[in-house]
Amino acid sequence: MYIKTIAWFAIACASAWGQPAGDSKPASTNVMGAQYPRVHPDLRATFQLKAPEAKLVQVRLGQTYDMVRADDGVWTVTIPPQVPGFHYYSLVVDSVAVNDPGSEAFYGTSRQSSGIEIPEKDADYYEVQAVPHGEVRQIRYFSKVTGAWRRAFVYTPPGYDLNPKLRYPVLYLQHGGGEDERGWTVQGRADIILDNLIDRKQAVPMLIVMDKGYAVMAGEKPYVRAPGEPFDMRRLSSLPAFEKVVVDDLIPAIDARYRTLPDRDHRAMAGLSMGGGQTFEIVLHNLDKFAYVGGFSGVPGGNGGPVINTKTDFNGVLADAQAFNKRMKLVWIGTGTAEPAPMYKGMQGFREAITNAGIRHIYIESEGTSHEWLTWRRALHDFAPRLFKEAK
């Protein structure tokens, strides 16, 4: 009978299903069946697009590389070895940056972008292993602050449903500017990282809550970027509205729905890039609610803003370092060694300021990575095991 189940609507797309190139393999970030882009053992990558009518087709991945047209209208290029990890990229057809039909889509750079995963040797902590797996749950909750329903994702650790009496600590984890609440699981693989850490007993079982780091107070107008202008990151980062959402709406919703340990000793917040800046603002304004804080390539003043004043900023909570160090169980900051200079220097400015003020903290660098997801996977992989240990 299977022969009768043969033919439904499928639209073939002019795309990246050509012949393989040598001992390369389709990128793990490709859509099902797509043979391009491909990654070579030496980490070069080959891209391909059929575009018979185009004048020029390019790949934009950090740099911009011209592709070469064959007689059949298929453009191809192999680019030099890439740094391992996840990179956003675009194909550029006659000056228009477009998605590669061979790639999955990843919400970043404020649009659905193509992405390519370059394999990292001996790194299995963000790959799906034969271990118990938690769940990633999409929830909806009503925000009184914004007057609207919001969507968030909640990672529940393996066994959450099997231990109906156990209560869990919670990490609030934020994405970067131009990304959203999907980023930490889709690009960041936070759920897989925690599944593996928990299985190896390197991290305690915890919930992770990932919300959208944008908010507009009820009755106010949403921020819309003017035509052709870059984002105003101050407005994009949505403070103070987002802080109010987290404190007044999100935390109460999570504590009401999940078996949490609803106190500051069992609540952490971390974020990357814009999310790191938001995180420090929110945590330092609400020390009664959080005992752990992390900034992954993102801190107040992290990229072009003025360096913080540890005497007066954040209502002066950093001024008495001894009291602050006693109260906070962890301040974690980190960055990639290959980050663009303004970001790297911004982080160093913050680090120097809190060091000079006597604030106890951990500072970790990710070797060779830029302002991108492998830096942040590594950050989470270092950060999560430091959480909630003494609280067990």
Looking at residues 118 to 137 of the shown chain, list those that interact with a second copy (rule: CB under 8 A).
128, 130, 133, 135-137
Compute the distance between CA of residue 16 and CA of residue 14 in angstroms, rounded to an integer.
Answer: 7
The residue range among 13-21, 201-209, 327-335, 355-363 that interacts with a second copy, by the rule CB under 8 A, is 13-21
Q: Is 95 in the site for a second copy (CB under 8 A)?
A: yes
Site string for a second copy, 194-223 (x = CB under 8 A): --------------------x-------xx
Q: Is 230 in the site for a second copy (CB under 8 A)?
A: yes
Segment 45-84, which members bind a second copy (CB under 8 A)?
49-56
**What's the chain's Rg over C-alpha atoms?**
22
Query: Is the Cβ–Cβ distance between 55 and 80 less than 8 Å?
Result: no
Q: Is 269 in the site for a second copy (CB under 8 A)?
A: no
Among 7, 23, 201, 322, interactor with a second copy by CB under 8 A? 7
Smallest gap from residue 184 Cβ to a second copy (A)? 13
**Which of 344, 355, 279 has its CA nearest to residue 321?**
355
Smallest gap from residue 378 Cβ to a second copy (A)? 17
Among 157, 301, 334, 336, interactor with a second copy by CB under 8 A? 301
Q: Is 335 in the site for a second copy (CB under 8 A)?
A: no
Among 23, 63, 71, 96, interactor with a second copy by CB under 8 A? 96
The residue range among 37-45, 100-108, 197-205, 357-365 that interacts with a second copy, by the rule CB under 8 A, is 100-108
State which residue, 338 or 391, has the beta carbon closest to a second copy.
Answer: 338
Tokens standing for 314? Answer: 């954040």
State which residue, 65 or 391, has the beta carbon closest to a second copy.
Answer: 65
Q: Is 224 in the site for a second copy (CB under 8 A)?
A: yes
Compute the distance between CA of residue 146 and CA of residue 164 in angstroms, rounded to an integer.
Answer: 33
Q: Is 314 in the site for a second copy (CB under 8 A)?
A: yes
Q: Is 234 in the site for a second copy (CB under 8 A)?
A: yes
State which residue, 214 or 292, has the beta carbon closest to a second copy.
Answer: 214
Smallest gap from residue 212 Cβ to a second copy (A)? 8
Across 175-211, b (16+ Cβ under 10 Å) vs e yields: bbbbbbbbbbbbbbbbbbbbbbbbeeeebbbbbbbbb
Query: Is the Cβ–Cβ distance between 297 and 322 less than 8 Å?
Result: no
Segment 152-191, which members bind a second copy (CB under 8 A)?
161, 164, 176-178, 180, 185, 191
Strands (E), the chain: 25-26, 38-39, 45-50, 57-61, 63-66, 68-69, 74-79, 85-93, 96-98, 105-108, 111-118, 135-143, 148-156, 170-174, 207-211, 267-272, 292-296, 330-336, 362-366
Give start and end residues of each alpha helix (H) in the chain.
Answer: 183-186, 190-199, 233-236, 241-244, 251-257, 274-285, 321-327, 341-356, 373-383
Smallest gap from residue 296 Cβ to a second copy (A)? 11
Contacting residues for 222 by C-beta, under 8 A, at least 6 apart:
216
